[in-house]
Structure 1
């Protein structure tokens, strides 16, 4: 019985195409490290969000466009991933994993009459993680390594810092280094594995240019820290050819902010982007091997709504999701395809004064993905 075929379907549904809290995208899973023998995988995901809000009222400085619809302010995006794993000897193995852990694509349509119309923001990241795993004789193992990560960001905000003005900020690509450490327990006879992995925060001083109406107002660097996180992932067989799997991910989003000097870092104004609360993301699923060729899986996800106000650049609060996946196995190749529906949690935004500027409700996203794995 090939439990790992089912686990591949779980990975696609729960990590690689998730639309999670903050600007989380990949879930930073290290599942490839636990594959048998020499193994390589490649993945591609496409996410199509539909996120819109309506201006709240009555009209005021904090709620300037009551009744105006923002239109869909989230662009579709692609995610890429790859991994290579090999054994050094019976106790030691290593993996190299590429992912795009954090990202945002915001584009408020123009001509809607909504106060944030024309606002744009983009945040991109790429990470390469090198991991080493040591197996102990008591079914425990420890793993750890280094993560090298790059980030870059841009944003354009009309009517900032005053009506009729346009604020623009460009942050150059910068590279930072963090670390990963964890422990796992396995019981192969029942396909059981529990792993706990910590990923450190990564610090950057991003070269930044800020402009208002095209005139440069600051070239001071912006200090950014991508957040620390903890992943708890598990799987276990519960019957012949049947596997239960899931996980919990905690991300320290309450310590994350982007505050360029002229916008907020040197003025005392709120940051360009920040979050009040940490985020916990839960997933639980079941997989079934149908025969030597096909396996299927279903996974449900949940992220608690924290309440309070959200940023105009990320007006979501929690989510619920359901994913379905199937894996086709032929010789040493595994092809997993999956689809996931995400119900995005309702959120409110504000321009200050404790008053609601807009309400975002009944939003969702659809994610599809494919992953190809080779054992050789």
Structure 2
């Protein structure tokens, strides 16, 4: 097999090997979007992959900054009582698994189409009940499902081929949050004082892009735009049955998942060697304060308004992810890649999502020309910061319930995938 052919084969899998370096990004990003399977040169290719991410974010120096208490507590109140006798530290993050599956089919010499399932967005924070910030968060979990269809049309252009890319996707977002509404410690009442909100919404998005490839030198450059997904009416319930005199309140709000743009490039740089990199922007600033108001209320849903029940206070800023790496093909069966990734944190002071630096490495094993196994690992640093009061563009303060710090923490990940080609 000649060296140019080796570089072409290496280029087909390197981006997938590098994905685990971006497995723990800012905002609500989890698996993100990935259409690399669309570029596989085989007439038919199917892939199943999974990544297990283990962040170890730890909270310290937590202080309950809103110790107010009322009985019965107000529906929109944050105080919950004085929790400063509880621990000032907590484990904030939970490990999670990110699956992905897809199949790509070539139709003639010019058209390729791919269908895939993924979980692009998600978050799981569970510091628990016994810390000083339980009036802000006991557990928050958001999950997503994404079903997509993407096609490309390619044509000869110069020494290579140019592709037009387009597709649509459907997303379902669901989740819950629990916090302490009222502390009943020391009171002989059969109530926990914990409130919970459950939410769900869905919407449709689209993507468009272009790519240029020269397979003989493993060159590929692609630019893909993914649209915002309007979730329409996000509906759910606020359950206050663990607070005396309260019940279940149906609520409604509006939210959108962010648009994004990603540029990727790779090229053979020597026989059997490949360099690759990517830059991605995600419009996380679309998620600021998400208000939820009582269903059927006669007035608009504004923060603190007559129908206001609760809110998800995010105040995210836009996210940027920059990744680069190098790969090498040792022989017809084995190749490997290593990456370095920087992800700009999306927090403006209300969460622990600061900058992340990650180093990843992976290997690819092809026992036959029709089967490919990939596996890898990553280790990274979640940089330090603090959480406290942040004022939004309308001059309204948020984060008045708790303040805390966090240091440089560790995140690790393991990934594996199985691809079959016909």
TM over 0.5: yes
1:168 deviation in Å? Answer: 1.2
Quick check: 1:219 aligned with 2:239?
no
CA distance in 1, matches of 2:380, 2:32: 15
CA distance in 2, matches of 1:207, 1:16: 34
CA distance in 2, matches of 1:30, 1:325: 19
CA distance in 2, matches of 1:299, 1:329: 21
Residue of structure 1 aligned with 2:275, choices 226, 244, 258: 244
TM-score by length of 2: 0.80
Residue of structure 1 aligned with 2:35, choices 21, 26, 30: 30
Residue of structure 2 aligned with 1:186, choices 201, 210, 213: 213
CA distance in 1, matches of 2:184, 2:120: 34
CA distance in 1, matches of 2:103, 2:112: 11
Q: What count of residue pairs does the alignment treat as equivalent?
A: 370
Task: Report the more deviating stretch, 131-140 or 78-87.
Answer: 131-140
**Residue in structure 1 matched with residue 238 of structure 2 by the alignment:** 210
Quick check: 2:350–2:389 contact (8 Å CA) kept in 1?
A: no
Quick check: 1:235 aligned with 2:273?
no
Task: Report the more deviating stretch, 104-113 or 22-31.
Answer: 104-113
Over residues 131-179 of structure 1, what are the superposed CA-to-partner deviations in whole Å (9 max), with x where a residue is unaligned? 111112212111101101111111111137999953310114x431110
CA distance in 2, matches of 1:112, 1:119: 9
Structure 1 regions of 5+ residues with no counterpart?
none
1:261 deviation in Å? Answer: 2.3
Choose 1 or 2 for highest CA Rg.
2
Task: Report the more deviating stretch, 160-169 or 363-372.
Answer: 160-169
Give the secondary-structure state (helix, strand or coil) at the position aligned to 1:24. coil
**Residue in structure 2 matched with residue 334 of structure 1 by the alignment:** 372
Residues 216 and 227 of structure 1: CA distance in aligned 2, closer, same or farther (over 3 Å): farther
Q: CA RMSD in A?
A: 2.8
Quick check: 2:10–2:327 contact (8 Å CA) kept in 1?
A: no
Report matched runs for 1:1-376 at 5 Å.
Answer: 1=6, 3-5=8-10, 7-14=12-19, 18-36=23-41, 37-55=43-61, 60-61=65-66, 65=84, 68-115=87-134, 119-138=138-157, 139-159=161-181, 165-172=193-200, 174-204=201-231, 205-214=233-242, 215-216=246-247, 218-257=249-288, 258-261=290-293, 266-268=302-304, 271-305=311-345, 308-311=348-351, 315-331=352-368, 332-350=370-388, 357-376=403-422
CA distance in 1, matches of 2:183, 2:207: 40
